[in-house]
């Protein structure tokens, strides 16, 4: 359930075990909605930013530097939007 302590994302109904920073306890959190910050991948099954809701893509910096510095966050976008333009 949202708000419950977790060790990995598989324990959460939402599929996102989230921690605000390296020192905080991880808790289940809802997936990121459109235009919210997101993370394309997790570190040991715990996210600093949750992945996007189903149907949205996380438009993020996927470079190796981004994953090492933990700054490879992006913004959830609807992939359909780019087709409509």
Q: Where residue 18 sits, what CATH number does that domain have?
A: 2.10.80.10
Top pLDDT among 65 and 14 is at 14
Instruction: Check residue 47 and give its pLDDT.
Output: 87
Domain count, the chain: 1
- Burial of residue 68 (number of CB atoms within 10 Å: 0-12, 13-18, 19+): exposed
pLDDT per residue as tens digits for the range 48-73? 899 999 999 988 765 555 455 555 68
pTM: 0.75
In contact, 34 and 70? CB cutoff 8 Å:
no
Q: Tell me which residue range forms the domain holding 59.
A: 4-83
**Helix (H), strand (E) at residue 59:** strand 57-60
Check residue 48 and give its pLDDT.
86
């Amino acid at each position: 359930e949202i708000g419950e302590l977790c060790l990995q994302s598989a324990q959460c109904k939402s599929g996102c075990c989230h921690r605000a920073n390296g020192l905080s306890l991880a808790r289940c959190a809802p997936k990121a909605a459109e235009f919210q910050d997101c993370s394309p991948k997790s570190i040991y099954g715990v996210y600093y930013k949750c992945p996007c809701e189903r149907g949205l893509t996380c438009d993020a910096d996927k470079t190796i530097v981004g994953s090492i510095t933990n700054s490879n966050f992006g913004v959830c976008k609807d992939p359909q939007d780019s087709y409509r333009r």
